[in-house]
Amino acid sequence: MRARESESWTVFLVVAVFLQVTLLLVGWTAALAVQRGVHLEGSQIQGGLVRGRVPSASVVEFQGERVRVSRDGWFLIGFARDAPAKVVLFVVFPTGLRQYYDLPVKPRTYRIQRIDGLPRRKVTPRKEDLARIRRDVALVKSARKVDDPRTDFLAGFRWPVLGVISGVYGSQRILNGKPRRPHYGIDIAASKGTRVVAPAAGVVTLVHPDMYFSGGTMIVDHGHGLSSAFLHLSRTLVKEGQRVKQGQPIAEVGSTGRSTGPHLDWRINLFGLRLDPALLVGPMPK
Ligand SMILES: [Zn+2]
């Protein structure tokens, strides 16, 4: 009888300890899950932009580089045209917890686009054109360096122009039979003079009447290094430094620079990273 009693006591103890440990683990995991809270929304795909949210005062690094986090905890990350299958996000939470996240990136296959009938000089520039091209590149580069704490991107994006899509992001280009750099914008065919509206609010950081390749060019900064560029414009309606609202007319469609017909080439950049604008808006309305 005695031996039996002590046996059941042992069983009781083992069960009690097991339950205790289990409860502790469950509680601990739940607490971690709360702290692990990184909320991500957007397109986890090559060329995609993702908007994330962490508790305010967290530190975020993406692929080893510090990312701006707004006072409300918002941040932006983007995936290059040829981004690897997995990228790393690192967060230091205000609690001191440090967490790595492996984010899968969906791969894409890109089209090949042949465009013929371009002026030869716009495909293979002459020596005397190179200085002008370098100046254009430097201006665009410095506009895209702007790192503003505004979060205009939070309100979402709309199409800057409605029309037939004649060129997409990422396609490999063969111009007049010569392989050239991939296309990074979305081309929307529309007649000359069609109003271009701001796809999101922002500040105009560059207006140029005639760049060598992109013709009439405008850049609007949406905050946190996210910017829109509008190419081949016939006319611009706003000035550098001006604040614009979403939907406000900012320019008119044209065919300036290296272009075979009137269209808007809309680009999205996260600093130097070229992203796909089409992923920020719904399908083109008919
Ligand atoms: Zn284009």
Could you say which of 88, 104, 120 is where a domain stops? 104
Residues 128 and 87 in one domain: no
**Cα of 188 from ligand 1 centre, angstroms:** 8
- Is 10 part of a structural domain of the chain? no
Residue 18 lies in a domain: no
* Pair 119, 98 in one domain: no
Give the rounded percent of residues in the chain with a pLDDT score beyond 90: 77
Please give the distance, rounded to the nearest whole angstrom, from the Cα atom of residue 82 to the centre of ligand 1. 19
pLDDT tens, position by position, 152-199: 999 999 999 999 999 999 999 898 988 888 999 999 999 999 999 999
Q: Within this chain, do residues 234 and 141 fall inside the same structural domain, yes or no?
A: yes
Per-residue pLDDT averaged across 7-12, rounded?
A: 68
Q: Is residue 179 part of a domain?
A: yes
Q: For residue 115, what pLDDT band results from cuts at 50, 70 and 90?
A: confident
According to the model, what pLDDT value does residue 117 have?
86
Average pLDDT over residues 209-227: 97
Residue 283 alpha carbon to ligand 1 centre in Å: 18
Mean pLDDT, residues 56-67 taken together: 96
Same-domain pairing of 90 and 186: no
For the domain that residue 48 is a member of, what is the CATH number? 2.60.40
CA-to-CA distance for 110 and 118, rounded, in angstroms? 22
**How many helices (H) and strands (E) in the chain?**
3, 21
Q: What is the CATH number of the domain that holds 236?
A: 2.70.70.10
Q: For the chain, what is the domain count?
A: 2
| 265 Cα: distance to centroid of ligand 1 (angstroms) | 5
Question: Residue 87 C-alpha to ligand 1 middle, in angstroms?
Answer: 28
Going from the Cα of 74 to the center of ligand 1, the distance in angstroms, rounded, reads 31
- Is residue 54 a part of any domain in this protein? yes
Query: Please, how many CA atoms are within 13 Å of residue 195, restricted to the half-sphere of its CB?
Result: 9
Report in angstroms the alpha-carbon separations of 1 from 4, 6, 8, 49, 241: 5, 9, 11, 71, 91
Ion ligand 1: residues, CB within 5 A, are 167, 185, 187, 265
The residue from 55, 79, 104 where one domain ends is 104
CA of 244 to the centre of ligand 1 (A): 24
Q: Could you tell me the distance, in angstroms and rounded to a whole number, from the CA of residue 183 to the centre of ligand 1?
A: 6
**Average pLDDT score over residue span 28-46:** 69
Cα(88) to ligand 1 centroid in Å equals 31
182 C-alpha to center of ligand 1: Å? 10
- What is the residue type of 196? V
Average pLDDT, the chain: 90
State whether 165 and 260 are in the same domain. yes
122 CA to centre of ligand 1 in angstroms: 13
> Cβ-count burial of 5 within 10 angstroms (0-12 exposed, 13-18 middle, 19+ buried)?
exposed
Q: How far apart are the CA of 274 and the centre of ligand 1, in A?
A: 13
Does any domain span residue 21?
Answer: no
Residue-level pLDDT at 21: 57
Q: What is the mean pLDDT of residues 265-281?
A: 98
| Residue 185 CA to ligand 1 centre (angstroms) | 6
Whether residue 80 is found in the same domain as residue 200: no
Looking at the fold, whether 68 and 151 belong to one and the same domain comes out as no
> Could you give the CA distance from residue 207 to residue 240 in angstroms, rounded to a whole number?
6
The yes-or-no verdict on residue 31 having pLDDT over 50 is no
**Average pLDDT in the 94-98 region?**
94
One-letter amino acid at 270 equals: L
pLDDT of residue 34: 40
* Residues 262 and 219 placed together within one structural domain of the fold: yes
Separation of 184 CA from ligand 1 center, angstroms? Answer: 7
Q: 254: which strand partners? A: 263
H helices of the chain, in order, are 2-35, 120-123, 130-143
